[in-house]
Amino acid sequence: MAEEAVLGYLENNTEISDSGTFAEERGINHDEIVNIIKSLNGFRLVDAQDIKRERWVLTNEGKTYAEDGSPEVQLFLAVPPEGITREELQKKLKPTIYQIGCQQAIKNKWIEMGKSQVSRKLQHVDDRVRDALIQIQNGEAVGPDDINALKRRKLITSQIWKGYSVTKGPKYAPKRKKVATDLTRENLQRGDWKEVEFKEYNFLAKGQPTEGGCLHPLLKVRRQIQMIFLQMGFEEMPTNNFVESSFWNFDALFQPQQHPARDSHDTFFLKEPSTTRTLPEDYVERVKRVHESGGYGSRGYGYEWKRDEANKNLLRTHTTAVSSRMLYALAQGPFAPKSYYSIDRVFRNEAVDRTHLAEFHQIEGLICDRGLTLGHLIGVLHDFFSRLGMSKLKFKPAYNPYTEPSMEIFSYHEGLQKWVEIGNSGMFRPEMLLPMGLPDDVQVIAWGLSLERPTMILYGIDNIRDLFGHKVDLSLIKRNPVCSIGL
Ligand code: PHE
């Protein structure tokens, strides 16, 4: 009703100059009018300008006097023309009225207070205080002297009154159209979507507040392992390319092109782009030669190495692909010893079960220096794993195309009371390092392990699918404690 009143009035008039009088004339509550004006203004149907006015309102005391008369007049009327004793007079009035009434009536010289007798000095008095209060209550103007007197007696206080003046807005219409917020099935079926006016998007809306974030256990363990590497003086390798060429992932690592890992059953090859664009040509030539016929004291594999096979793009199957790039880059400058590490995602085309996923994370460390031996590797592994809380280690000879010797790493698990395999390691072969251009007395010791394995052990998770992937229970992630490796 208030909305129709405002819009309807503006149809024939240019302005509502004062929402207060407008509301009063129509017997509508002013607050209701104000809410409607704010809403119409928001949708630009009207333009509203603030009006502020200071006005006087009666205090509670003021209101009782407007009703019953001022105390001084009440007192005056209680004094009969023949006079009255103080005692009698006091009995006729409320204590506050008697007290205030005496003060004011004496001040106005209306009565005389004798020792025991009270008498009138006038026959008749006017209640100007009450009259002024009633005028203010009715919103009528009152002179400044009266205002000051009433203010001093705390019978009135000032109040800021807020209202609006209103004119037509740019989107004015005599009736507000209901705008739709959703396109419904019914809109589509009835075909009325063509006529429906939709609410505009509010791109400035704040949106739902997010719940506090929390770190995934893999991130917590990664952070701890990162700290261990940094404490040991290792530098992080850039692992930000999941897509790699077969060349860096396999060929540079002296992994023959017929190796079963290079089959699509084990590796994800890319369809688009299916091949790499550039490779360092003279290095490619040296890699081809070492595969085909060896060199550097090796006999090679004795097969015909194919460039097409090396060009094929894949999702890297291990972070050793990054290590091979880093070692090649290192070989291009004057030699300096390096310790490198990385912790990042790798991909394998594997049947998913409780301990295997098609994507997981590898931790890799390597040290490149002159005169390194297997003894150095064993020593560094003891240092590294004891920092992870695993100080009982055993090594078992193993095979990797790119390391010789190679060792599987086992750690004694006190809880399970048995040896568990925790990683793989070795010394990179000369067939890998010498074609890169590294000096021939430089050795590289290296090791790798999954990030998931220690995380599952630390957090007591026995199914990898509870840790990573779409079946992860988010509340479990939120409740997980901080990582406490090696404590
Ligand atoms: N690349 C190996 C793997 O994927 C780990 C490894 C790294 C082994 C470095 C030896 C040296 O399992």
What is the tens place of the pLDDT at every residue in 216-226? Answer: 999 999 999 99
426 lines ligand 1 (CB under 6 A): yes
- Max avg pLDDT among 62-66, 413-417, 480-484: 62-66
Residue 118 CA to ligand 1 center (angstroms) comes to 115
- DSSP codes joined into one string, 278-329: ---HHHHHHHHHHHHT-BTTB----S---HHHHHBEEE-SSTHHHHHHHHHH
Residue 344 CA to ligand 1 center (angstroms) comes to 13
Q: Kindly report, residue by residue over 171-195, the tens digit of the pLDDT.
A: 998 888 778 889 999 999 999 888 8
Q: Please report which confidence band the pLDDT of residue 352 belongs to, taking 50, 70 and 90 as the band edges.
A: confident
Residue 402 CA to ligand 1 center (angstroms) comes to 9
The DSSP 8-state label assigned to residue 27 in this structure reads T
Minimum CA distance residue for ligand 1 atom 8: 425
Residues 409, 269 share a domain = yes
Query: Is the pLDDT confidence value at 168 over 70?
Result: yes
Please provide the average confidence, as pLDDT, over all residues in the chain: 92
Ligand 1 binding pocket mutation candidate from 424, 433, 451 (most atoms within 8 A of CB): 424
Point out the ligand 1 atom lying closest to the alpha carbon of residue 320: 1
| Cα–Cα dist 348/357, whole Å | 8
Query: Is the pLDDT confidence value at 132 over 90?
Result: yes
Q: Please report which confidence band the pLDDT of residue 472 belongs to, taking 50, 70 and 90 as the band edges.
A: confident
The DSSP 8-state label assigned to residue 123 in this structure reads S
455 lines ligand 1 (CB under 6 A): no
Output the pLDDT for position 322.
98
Residue 398 CA to ligand 1 center (angstroms) comes to 11
Residue 316 CA to ligand 1 center (angstroms) comes to 13
Output the pLDDT for position 59.
93
What average pLDDT score do residues 241-256 get? 97
Residues 428, 311 share a domain = yes
Asked if residue 38 belongs to a domain, the reply is no
Can you read off the two tokens belonging to residue 402? 């790119």
Is 313:274 a contact under the CB 8 Å cutoff?
Answer: yes
3-state secondary structure of 385: helix
403 lines ligand 1 (CB under 6 A): yes
Point out the ligand 1 atom lying closest to the alpha carbon of residue 318: 4
Q: Please report which confidence band the pLDDT of residue 281 belongs to, taking 50, 70 and 90 as the band edges.
A: very high
**What percentage of the chain exceeds 70 in pLDDT?**
100
Q: What is the residue type of 154?
A: K
Minimum CA distance residue for ligand 1 atom 9: 447
Residues 382, 237 share a domain = yes
What average pLDDT score do residues 480-484 get? 79
Taking CA atoms, 42 is separated from 8, 167, 170, in Å, by 18, 13, 11
Point out the ligand 1 atom lying closest to the alpha carbon of residue 424: 8
319 lines ligand 1 (CB under 6 A): no
Query: Is the pLDDT confidence value at 463 over 90?
Result: no
Minimum CA distance residue for ligand 1 atom 4: 318
318 lines ligand 1 (CB under 6 A): yes
Boundary residue ending a domain (126, 160, 190) = 126
Residues 122, 229 share a domain = no
Residue 335 CA to ligand 1 center (angstroms) comes to 24
Ligand 1 binding pocket mutation candidate from 267, 400, 404 (most atoms within 8 A of CB): 400
Burial 262-285 (b: 16+ CB within 10 A, else e): beeeebbeeeeeeebeebeeebbe
Tell me the residue range of the domain where 106 lies: 71-126
Residue 35 CA to ligand 1 center (angstroms) comes to 71
Q: Please report which confidence band the pLDDT of residue 384 belongs to, taking 50, 70 and 90 as the band edges.
A: very high
Point out the ligand 1 atom lying closest to the alpha carbon of residue 317: 4
What average pLDDT score do residues 314-333 get? 97
Tally the domains of the chain: 2
Boundary residue ending a domain (93, 126, 159) = 126
| Cα–Cα dist 16/166, whole Å | 5
447 lines ligand 1 (CB under 6 A): yes
Asked if residue 452 belongs to a domain, the reply is yes
The ipTM assigned to this model is: 0.96
Asked if residue 379 belongs to a domain, the reply is yes
Asked if residue 467 belongs to a domain, the reply is yes
Asked if residue 458 belongs to a domain, the reply is yes
Short-list 4, 78, 81, 77, CA closest to 45: 4
Residue 340 CA to ligand 1 center (angstroms) comes to 14
Query: Is the pLDDT confidence value at 418 over 70?
Result: yes
| Cα–Cα dist 445/30, whole Å | 84
Residues 243, 364 share a domain = yes
Output the pLDDT for position 470.
86
In sequence order, the β-bridge partners of residue 370 are 442
Residue 409 CA to ligand 1 center (angstroms) comes to 11
Residue 320 CA to ligand 1 center (angstroms) comes to 6
Output the pLDDT for position 308.
97
424 lines ligand 1 (CB under 6 A): yes
448 lines ligand 1 (CB under 6 A): yes
CATH of the domain at 121: 1.10.10.2330
Asked if residue 168 belongs to a domain, the reply is no
Bridge-based pairing of strands 442-450 and 359-370 is antiparallel
Point out the ligand 1 atom lying closest to the alpha carbon of residue 428: 11
Output the pLDDT for position 403.
97
Residue 445 CA to ligand 1 center (angstroms) comes to 11
Q: How far is CA 236 from the centre of its chain?
A: 29
CATH of the domain at 379: 3.30.930.10
Output the pLDDT for position 115.
85
Asked if residue 375 belongs to a domain, the reply is yes
Query: Is the pLDDT confidence value at 429 over 60?
Result: yes
The DSSP 8-state label assigned to residue 184 in this structure reads -
Output the pLDDT for position 159.
87
Ligand 1 binding pocket mutation candidate from 316, 320, 342 (most atoms within 8 A of CB): 320
Minimum CA distance residue for ligand 1 atom 6: 448
Output the pLDDT for position 288.
98
Asked if residue 362 belongs to a domain, the reply is yes
Residue 464 CA to ligand 1 center (angstroms) comes to 21
Residues 232, 115 share a domain = no
Output the pLDDT for position 414.
80
Residues 275, 380 share a domain = yes
Residues 444, 304 share a domain = yes
Query: Is the pLDDT confidence value at 487 over 80?
Result: no
Residues 242, 122 share a domain = no
pTM over 0.80: no
Output the pLDDT for position 486.
59
